[in-house]
Amino acid sequence: MSVDDLQVTPLGPHHDRAAFTCGEVTLDRYLREQASQDRKRSLARCYVLTRASEPARVVGYYTLSAHSLRLHDLPEDAARGIPYRDVPGVLVGRMALDVREQGRGLGERLLAAAVEHCARLESELGLRVIVVDALSEGAARFYERFGFQRFGSGELRLFLSLRHVLPRT
């Protein structure tokens, strides 16, 4: 199985949710029981990582939803130049990788896909930050390796300024 045949697509009825397990019950349950409901209610969109050779098998997933932050919640350097009290962003509400795929660098691939997705949305919507809620200290450290910053010391909520992702224009 090559990493070259990986693809990210919107969650659909043909995806096998029952076989997915990431080791975190709440994330497994979300994919099986809640993701489609969130889509129907326009609360979040779920995107799945699959292989072209096994298009129904979910390797991993992430969710995106619109988000807004108070300007005063951002560190001064990230808030600089914003004349409004609310800052538009995207929440990566959930991100999970099947236990059979963990330890292969696919978590990084999944996060990169989510960040690239947010960067594409920025060209249409105007977004400033990507926000993640880490489930654990280990997950927070994972996000920090890719440039995410904590909102405060010991916080499990982190953000990435899209100014650090997108080319300056």
**Whole-angstrom distance, CA of residue 4 vs CA of residue 15:** 20
**Whole-angstrom distance, CA of residue 29 vs CA of residue 133:** 17
**Whole-angstrom distance, CA of residue 113 vs CA of residue 8:** 7
Q: In the annotation, is 62 catalytic?
A: no
Q: Give the torsion sign (CA, 10, 13, 15, 16).
A: positive
**Inter-CA distances, 126 with 72, 118, 120, 130, 163, Å:** 19, 10, 10, 12, 11
Q: Which positions ≥6 away from 13 have C-beta within 8 Å?
A: none
The catalytic position among 47, 61, 62, 143 is 143
Tell me how far the alpha carbon of residue 32 is from its chain's centroid. 18
Which residues share a beta bridge with 122?
none
Which amino acid, residue 3?
V
Q: Active-site residues: which are they?
A: 143
